[in-house]
Structure 1
Amino acid sequence: MKKRDEIPVCDTWNLADILPSESAWEELFRETEQELSGYKEFEGHLMDSGEMLFSCLRFDEEVSLKIETLFVYGKQKSDEDTGNAKYQEFAAKARALSYQAAGLSAYLVPEILSFPEETLREYQENYPQLSRYKRTLEIILNKKAHTLSAAEEALLAKSLEATSGASDIFNMFNNADAKFPEILDENQKPVQITHGNFIAFMEKQDRRVRKSAFEALYSVYKQFGNTLASTFFSNGKKASFYASARNYTSARAFSLWENEIPETVYDNLIQAVHEDISYLHEYVSIRKEALGVDELHMYDLYVPMVSLEEKKIPFEDAKRMVLEGLKPLGEEYLSLLREGFDNRWIDVYENEGKRSGAYSWGVYGIHPYVLLNYNGTLDSVFTLAHEMGHALHSWYSDKNQTYVDAGYKIFVAEVASTCNEALLIRHLLATTKDKNERAYLVNHFMDSFRGTLYRQAMFAEFEDETHRLVKEGQILTGELLGKTYHKLNEFYFGPDMIIDPEIDFEWSRIPHFYTPFYVYQYATGFSAAVAISSKILSGDEKVIKGYFEFLSGGNSMTPIDLLKLCGVDMSTAEPVKDALLVFAGLLKEMRELI
């Protein structure tokens, strides 16, 4: 494992585009810290005039952007090497500043909600500059039933820093402190398991290696099972507390309402997946037959069903593959991809202490960034396409929306990224002439359904159940969480799958569970993306035009309405059902190919 300073500069992102130096960060921090006192000048005076209301909202916007800049820079520097105490401090100080700003501005929403409606309408009509905050004010008014008094809002804002411990503890354990054992690879050489190489080991044809990697990784989570159960439980109690404080019926209702998503969308997803769970059971049966094993274990889920010569895909080739696959989106989109590839938007390779996984992030007004842990597999090529989908979604939103309307909701965040993956896999399927390679690619597309639609729906069901138990006053022990997770695996994977005891601890290593009710959006986003990519490839000009309006929409409309621009209605179960029919077609083709 290379250290950070051993990675070539050209393979790292250039955070100087955000702030030129650490001293610039410190200067901006001091400046912003001093500016926070400005909130007091507006308190109690928002009703004075439309100009006063606008001035306060504009001040809040400017402060928010500065804090965002401080936090993103600090957190991304910390993610380069999570053991670096200096950048941990940068991120922590920026987060604390955001909590301070939230406390000082807590009066803002309650004060606006105290306006007589006719007064607010009059201000908007007579002070045109307030049109900048039309959507902001609309969202505030929609939350009237869940907004407390100014004093109560201030208290809740101040409590956020004190209640973030569970997530912070998990992240430090998972990324900095957890060390996994060594195993013997396929050449009998000792190799340490890491977050970055675990899935690559799970894709190995050598079953002994897969089993060893699986048992090695989960032995660590099992060892700390009680601690991780405690952090999970604490995070659940936090979600329940804030939901109750804001008069929501549940943590789920709170999370979904924040994103303007009806709870029926969540229920429709689970119901649709349950109704077609037989497709996943069929997938397991095909996988068992293709691998030629008497028993299919959880460590057999990632290895390709079709043996193909294992080859590493250099990052330069990965970039070319992505550019070819995304040609249907047009030259402007491709030129933006090239700009990101050529100008150090991307932090490419794993290094010691680097945050696991992948993401896209950035600061408004500056190009987006992508963190990868690229390892040369086909999966990591798709991860590049996925994260650049996020990045260009942000680029289009930032270009076409103001800061207050650019930040799109999580519900639509996975659509652009997954649409890129769907376009890439369909391009590869359309251009291969080799039957074995085609089977390999069909296998990969099937695994996308299994891993993104079914698996994330199972995660969503696990979250729903565990948060319900918290609300009912149950204590979430490691044993209870493991049993709950085990039963869901039995239901989802069916009779042909051996549910190994190690998988009972999988819940304890999922970072997204610390953002409650996030994961279901991978499944809904995947379903929407399959539908949109099909329409794009069919040459539907209306949908292609609507897709770029969607990318440019930010948060200017509700997520459901934004997706309707692309001809997809996520308020119904139809997109999920249609996606599962595509999965059924792949199952049929795979039967024929093997």
Structure 2
Amino acid sequence: MVIQEKIPTRAEVPEQYKWRLEDIYASDAEWERDFQKLRIMVKEIQAFKGRLGESPGVLLETLRAEERLQQLNEKIYAYARMRRDEDNTNSIYQAMTDRADSLSTEAQTAVSFILPEILALPEETLAGFRRAERGLDLYEFAFEEIMRQKDHTLSPAEERIIAQAGEVTEAPSNIFKMVNNADITFEPIEDEKGARVEVTHGRYTRLMESRDRRVRRDAFTSMYSSYHKLRNTLAATLSSSVRRDIFYARVRRHPSALQASLFEDNIQPQVYDNLIETVRRNNGAMQRYVDLRRRRLGLDQLHMYDLYVSLAGEVDWDISYAESVEIIKQALAPLGSFYGEIMARGLAAGWVDIYENKGKSSGAYSWGPYGTHPYILMNYQNNLSNLFTLAHELGHAMHSYFAFNAQPYIYAHYKIFTAEVASTVNECLLMDYLLKTVTDRDKKLYLLNHYLEQFRGTVFRQTMFAEFEKIIHARVEAGEALTPDLLGEIYHQLNLDYYGPGIVVDRDIDMEWARIPHFYEAFYVYKYATGFSAAVALSRQILTEGEPAVARYLDFLRSGGSGYPLDLLKAAGVDLSAPLPVQEGLDLFTILLDQVEAFM
């Protein structure tokens, strides 16, 4: 694929390449009607305040009213936000998103009395209510979760204040998104043929995969020099986000921001620590990979901008979006015809927003409100990386589809801890399919290189990110300030620790912390590494056991948020409470290194 000189505007993108948000709301006017309806619901739910102990019927009616309110709130916000993501410079959808954000805060404030009022009920009263009103049976796990949170739930008045603070405390994340998606620009560079091309988020990886080292270096410099110019702003923004995390942890009486985040999923801190310790114990394998990469590329010194170019040499593997769809259908056939039919219908029915346009949010994600179908945002480029990204996001989408169709609203949303499992199972099955069907020697090496890069990017790099988050939160909790220099120093040292002495840790990489969106959703990234490890195990089971493993897996997808993440994964066949799944995944990384070295 030749990189276009200019990115099209949203209006210039043909309709067949756009998602169908009209399936959520046929028009902005319809959205506005629901917006006004939600404002009324926010006021009406106040009628239940102070009454949850009156009778089982009042408690049930309150819980159902809250679900209706939350479901509509989710729908309103998702539509506005996804419209804004189509083009972050569109002031209409900027305004709609801001309005939806404000109303969402009002909604959370309005229902903030429910949790503390339930917790205030004597346990024998709540048990009596559940015996008297069978409709409350649905909420058995929800009540268990509520009681688990008792020590970290405040008074109704305090909960209301915290809910009202939501709009303000989202500021760091919102500011970062606008800087990163709408305001920041990168210096154009010359491509391999000397043509001037724009550097964008969507194109960056493609440029870093160039066989021309000068192109890689120039793209690398273009990217990080732009972030360096904004280092003070972005350090202040990230520092504010960290302080927000610590604020919430402290007011809810958690020992640290890390433990507050893990508490949400009922995860013990040793799961987080085990991941970091296990990966650090295996850093020798990463350093072996770095040396292999240097030797394969014929370089005296390997630099950070040399990490993305394929070890397979010149491989002409241009994969169109349509080709990607067909490959994925074949690769996911082991999941059964039912899974395949639903996925195929979705791909043909406007689930995916495919190509990059000016102002569009970078990267890729899957989202969509309960009651509709899932959506996928892509910025598709014709390469192997984007083939895997599409498979990844389809995993999320299918997880949502199964959960939304099997669970009531209250249990339909799976926890983030399990979210990356389904997406990565798809990637593992895709890799297995390609390694079995691709016969070209260079392409097979290209695939093995990609698999190694998945491990580097998803296990080693995300664990490094996780350690960075742990360090910067601990520093602020200890009273330190997160200056640009300190953030760069911490990040530089981690790169030295993880990659070792066999690579030049260029000073430009010290600014990479400034471009990672997930740092504004604290302690998320470790779940990529644990999820990848679980997915490797589950995909092996699916391929070797067949139907029994598929049945367990589909039940896992259907389970949504109806249980604790570790329990749901254990039922599917993987126990992440121990280091073993991570170690087994890293053992596979070593095996892949052996296979690549056979090509040397």
Shorter-chain-normalised TM-score: which range?
over 0.9
Aligned-partner SS, 1:370: strand
- The answer for the alignment partner of 2:208 in structure 1 is 202
What is the distance in 1 between the residues matched to 2:407 and 2:41? Answer: 25
Report the residue type matching 2:79 in the other structure. Answer: Y
Listed one character per residue, the Cα deviations across residues 403-446 of structure 1 (whole Å, up to 9, x for unaligned) are: 01010000000000001000001110011222222111111100
5 Å matches for 1:555-570?
555-570=561-576
CA contact (8 A) 2:211 2:314 kept: no
Structure 1 residues 300-309 or 173-182, which shifts more? 300-309
Q: Specify the code of the residue in structure 2 equivalent to 1:319.
A: V
Deviation (angstroms), 1:94: 1.1
Note the C-alpha offset of 1:103.
1.3
Q: Distance in 2 between matches of 1:156 and 1:9?
A: 42
Whole-Å separation in 2 of the counterparts to 1:279 and 1:333:
36
Match of 1:438 in 2: 444
Q: Residue deviations 1:20-78, cap 9 Å, x none?
A: 10000111101110121112211111001111001001001000011101100000000
Structure 2 match to 1:360: 366
Q: Which residue of 1 aligns with 2:472?
A: 466
Q: Percent identity?
A: 44
* Cα distance in 1 between the residues matched to 2:503 and 2:536: 27
Secondary structure of 2:313's aligned partner: coil
Q: Which residue of 2 aligns with 1:582?
A: 588
C-alpha separation between the residues in 2 aligned to 1:310 and 1:541? 37
Which of the numbers 570, 573, 598 marks the counterpart of 1:592? 598
Q: Give the match for residue 176 of structure 2.
A: 170
Work out which of the residue numbers 74, 78, 89 in structure 2 matches 1:68: 74
TM-superposed CA distance for 1:541, in Å, is 3.4
Partner of 1:337: 343
The TM-score with structure 2 as length reference comes to: 0.98
2:461 corresponds to 1:452: no
What is the Cα deviation at residue 540 of structure 1? Answer: 4.3
Distance in 1, Cα, partners of 2:169 & 2:581: 37
- For 1:174-573, list aligned pairs within 5 A: 174-573=180-579
Letter in 1 for 2:468: F
Q: Secondary structure at the match of 2:545?
A: coil
Question: Following superposition, which runs of at least 4 residues in structure 1 exceed 3 angstroms of deviation?
Answer: none
**Amino acid in the other structure paired with 1:100:** E
Find out whether 1:141 has 2:147 as its counterpart: yes
After superposition, what is the alpha-carbon deviation per residue over 1:227-280, rounded to whole angstroms, capped at 9, x for unaligned? 100000000000001100000001111111012211111011001101111110
Instruction: Provide the C-alpha distance between the structure 1 equivalents of 2:459 and 2:439, rounded to a whole number of angstroms.
Output: 28
Residue type at the aligned position of 1:27: R
Report if aligned partners of 2:462, 2:528 keep a CA contact under 8 Å in 1. yes
Q: How far apart are residue 104 of structure 1 and its match? A: 1.7
- Matches of 1:101 and 1:8, distance apart in 2: 37
Residue 91 of structure 1 is matched in structure 2 by: 97
Residue number in structure 2 paired with 1:156: 162
Q: CA RMSD in A?
A: 0.8
Change (3 A) 1:542 1:552: same
User: Which residue of structure 2 aligns with residue 123 of structure 1?
Assistant: 129
In the alignment, structure 2 segments of 5+ residues that lack a partner are 1-6
Segments of 5+ residues of structure 1 without an aligned counterpart are none
Deviations 1:335-362 (A, max 9, x none): 1111111111000000000000000000
Distance 1:126 1:522 in 2: 43
Contact 2:538/2:574 (8 A) holds in 1 = yes
> C-alpha separation between the residues in 2 aligned to 1:593 and 1:546?
38
| 1:125 Cα deviation from its structure 2 partner | 1.3
CA displacement 1:439-475 (0-9 Å, x = unmatched):
1111110000000000000000000000001111100
Q: Match of 2:63?
A: 57
Counterparts of 2:336 and 2:475, CA distance in 1: 49
C-alpha contact (below 8 Å) 1:435/1:593 kept by paired residues: no
Give the secondary structure class of the aligned counterpart of 2:463: helix
Check the 8 A contact 2:52/2:118 in 1, yes or no.
yes
**Contact 2:266–2:564 (8 Å) recurs in 1:** yes
For the residue of structure 2 that corresponds to 1:437, the secondary structure is helix
Paired residue secondary structure (1:364)? coil
2:10 aligns with 4
Structure 1 distance, partners of 2:22, 2:441, is 47
Which deviations, in whole Å up to 9, do the C-alpha atoms of 1:134-155 show, x marking residues without a partner?
Answer: 2221111110000001111111
Matches within 5 A, 1:24-39: 24-39=30-45
CA distance in 1, matches of 2:314, 2:44: 63
Question: How many angstroms does 1:307 deviate by?
Answer: 1.2
CA contact (8 A) 1:49 1:123 kept: yes
Deviation at 1:542, TM superposition (A): 2.9
Q: C-alpha separation between the residues in 2 aligned to 1:584 and 1:326?
A: 26
Residue 4 of structure 2 aligns with which residue? none
